[in-house]
Amino acid sequence: MDLRIRGSVPADPFLSAVDLFETEYDLDRPVHVDVREDPDERTWAAHYEDRHVLNISRQAATSAMARELVLHELSHMARNEERHASHVQSTEEAIFLALSGSSVERRKVAHCYQIANHMKDIYADDITLSVAPAEKLVHFLESELARALAAKPGPSPWPDSRLVTADADPEITAVNAAFALALVERHDLVDESHRLYDLAHAAADDAPTVELETFKREFRSLAADPTESDYRKALVDVTRQYAVETANRATAAD
């Protein structure tokens, strides 16, 4: 793999991530790493015809989670190169189809993008967890969910949060909890005595209009290699379930 780091950070986490990734996978396009000074810069990948670009903050690149963050983004790049349905489907199109004709709060529209990212993350982590140990990921999921449930959640102790919104909104936190459970169950990472289950049920208690089990089932049961049509339907269904049906349940409860 052609990996080029632009920024003065230790190369070890990047090279270690590449070593793990290349035990089973490879990328055709080079990877350019842009190290950002802003500690709030999220870790994300951009894809172009001639390269991938990994954007990561210096804080994230030097953290204990650096290798895992890089490996996760390499997995997204692999899904992009293989033209996996989850990584070619337009999120905007799916959200438009899901919400057409409905009046939806702006915050919930923003949450729909996070839900779409969760679905992409499921497929990226199918790769990540096939080549790397799961302990840090499980701890990450547990820590982020616990932080979101805190009375006054502060800045994330992790350099990049895939789970929580800035204000730890109870409804999206419950969906995030469902995502966390779906991921660990999809890969048999923990049993039901794990603290993650207690945290998830606490999140569900805080958001009675969100059906934890429904969202967990939707995420966990995503087909490994869906057609573009099937994936679009799954994304539209889960988006509508969150943005429209939870609102309907809230109205009915009033």
Are 38 and 110 contained in the same domain? no
Residue 72 forms part of a structural domain:
no
Residue 145 forms part of a structural domain:
yes
| Amino acid letter for position 64 | A
Parts of the chain with a pLDDT under 50: 152-161, 163-166
Are 32 and 89 contained in the same domain? no
Are 26 and 121 contained in the same domain? no
The answer to whether 121 touches 73, Cβ cutoff 8 Å, is no
CB atoms closer than 10 angstroms to residue 232: 18
pLDDT at 150: 86
CA distance 69 to 142: 16
Domain hosting residue 219, numbered range? 85-253
- Of the chain, the end-to-end C-alpha distance in Å amounts to 56
Output phi, psi for 81, to 5 deg: -65, -35
Are 110 and 184 contained in the same domain? yes
The answer to whether 154 touches 176, Cβ cutoff 8 Å, is no
Residue 218 forms part of a structural domain:
yes
Radius of gyration of the chain (CA): 18
Are 34 and 99 contained in the same domain? no
Are 138 and 29 contained in the same domain? no
Which of 92, 54, 49 lies closest to 76, judged by CA?
54
Are 239 and 149 contained in the same domain? yes
pLDDT at 135: 96
Are 208 and 169 contained in the same domain? yes
Cα angle 84, 89, 90 (rounded to 5 degrees) comes to: 150
Are 144 and 215 contained in the same domain? yes
Residue 136 forms part of a structural domain:
yes
Residue 156 forms part of a structural domain:
yes
pTM: 0.91
Residue 80 forms part of a structural domain:
no
CA distance 210 to 153: 21
Residue 168 forms part of a structural domain:
yes
Are 52 and 7 contained in the same domain? yes
CA distance 74 to 54: 8
Which of 206, 233, 241 lies closest to 104, judged by CA?
241
Structural domains of the chain, count: 2
Are 59 and 90 contained in the same domain? no
pLDDT at 159: 46
CB atoms closer than 10 angstroms to residue 166: 9
pLDDT at 250: 62
Give the position of tokens 């070890």.
12
DSSP state of 156: -
Residue 24 burial by Cβ neighbours in a 10 Å radius (0-12, 13-18, 19+): exposed
Residues in the chain: 254
The answer to whether 172 touches 165, Cβ cutoff 8 Å, is yes
Which of 6, 135, 134, 13 lies closest to 63, judged by CA?
13
Residue 184 forms part of a structural domain:
yes
Per-residue pLDDT tens digits for 67-103: 999 999 999 999 999 999 999 999 999 999 999 999 8
Are 160 and 235 contained in the same domain? yes
